[in-house]
Structure 1
Amino acid sequence: MITNFDKLCLDLEKQELEAPNGVTSAANYAQLLAIYLYQNDLCNAKFLWKRIPQNITSSNPELAAVWTVGQKMWKKDLPRTYQALAAYHWVEPVATIMRALEEKVRETAFTLIGRSYSSISIETVVSMTGLSKEAVLQICRDRKWEINDDGVTVNPAPPVQPAPLHTSSEDQLFKLTEFVSFLEN
């Protein structure tokens, strides 16, 4: 199982650069494109798609399916992103990357919901996360989000922010002294 996508990305980029005429295999392109999506590097994904030779893009359905996911992500269309992820039967090693991508997109959606809404309909959460209503309700309970009595809305709790690091009084005094000295000069 692939666990270090950053290292794999560098390896795949290197393979593309060192390939004859700068053209690597369709499998390498599919993995690299999927990793760019996982990294939310949509610009690099788009540039990669544009530089892949037409004969490779047209003859490789998995590569085209990865790009379809990228197009939905580019448009920030979460429901269709999940549909595109589910519409294709991914083959390893791309399948591992696409599963990780789906989990990351879903977690990002939950974080966004927690930060942005004080109240939201459960159906909207279902749409934004691509999960069933039952799964959404369970995750809301796990996250300690308040499910209203009407059973239609949920009140998300914002994600817990790490406590700011406190500097010692000595450090603060030193910084203040440096600042005042700078202003006096």
Structure 2
Amino acid sequence: MLSNFDKLCGELEKQELEAPNGIASPSTYAQLLAIYLYQNDLCNAKFLWKRIPPNITGSNPEIAAIWAVGQKLWKKDLAGTYQALTAYTWTEPVANIIRALEEKIRDRAFNLIGQSYSSISIDTVILMTGLTKEAVLHACRDRKWVVGDDGFTVNPTPPMQPAPLHTSSEDQLFKLTEFVSFLEN
């Protein structure tokens, strides 16, 4: 199922392709660039940035601010990403995409922490999530992570992975038989 951003991305790409003289509106470019970042499609974001006409990038500080976020994501600089996200006052409709982007980056950071660390300092979690200490402690408790007695360390638990769907041997044999029969006929 496509998300609203996936549908909007398709519409914006179409607008860009069908734009008169091949130049879309700054709003189209800004939204499309933000959606590519939301989708973690950094390559398309970079190519879009390179094809936006210089007069638009130079006269539209919001597009430049979105690309500043993209550059931080490209370099995997989480702390810098959060700084770039809060350094600009976003306008609608880009603000909705940026809020969703920030949530998604934060969720990915928490998942990464859960998968990668058995113990981590609160300060590192703050840097990786861009949250305040109180918000980090609250988020850790929500995830059932153990906060050390010293108040400076967290012991995360790995995120729950969906159980793989197992099929019985008989089901697999039946499917294989059907496939071979199809190929023979």
Q: Would you call these one fold, judging by a TM-score over 0.5?
A: yes
Aligned to 1:4: 4
For each residue in 1:125-161, what CA deviation from the matched residue of structure 2 results, as whole angstroms up to 9, or x when unmatched?
0000000000000110010001111111101000011
Cα gap change, 1:152 to 1:51, in 2 (>3 Å):
same
Does 1:63 pair with 2:72? no
Distance 1:42 1:150 in 2: 39
Q: What is the CA distance between 1:162 and its match in structure 2?
A: 1.3
What number of residue pairs does the alignment pair up?
176
Matches within 5 A, 1:4-43: 4-43=4-43
Across the aligned residues of Structure 1 and Structure 2, the Cα RMSD in angstroms comes to: 1.5
Match of 1:47 in 2: 47
Distance 1:89 1:4 in 2: 23
The percentage of counterpart residues that share the same residue type is 78
Cα distance in structure 1, aligned partners of 2:153 and 2:159: 18
> Take 1:110 and 1:134, find their aligned partners in 2: how far apart are those partners?
15
Give the superposition deviation at 1:171: 2.0
Structure 2 unpaired stretches of 5+: 179-185
Residues 10, 173 of structure 1: alpha-carbon distance in 2 compared, 3 angstrom cutoff = closer
User: Structure 1: any 5+ residue segments left out of the alignment?
Assistant: 179-185
2:154 & 2:105 partners in 1: Cα distance?
A: 20
- How far, CA to CA, are the matches of 1:174 and 1:17 in structure 2? 48
Aligned partners of 2:155 and 2:161: how far apart in 1? 18
Runs of 4+ in 1 over 3 A off after TM superposition: 172-178
SS in structure 2 opposite 1:154?
strand
One-letter identity of the residue aligned with 1:105: I
Written as runs of structure 1 = structure 2, the 5 A alignment for 1:142-161 is: 142-161=142-161
- Aligned twin of 1:108: 108
Partner of 2:121: 121
The answer to whether 1:138 aligns with 2:133 is no
Instruction: Look up the match of 1:73.
Output: 73
C-alpha separation in 2, matches of 1:135 and 1:172:
48
TM-score, length-scaled by structure 1: 0.91
Structure 1 partner of 2:93: 93
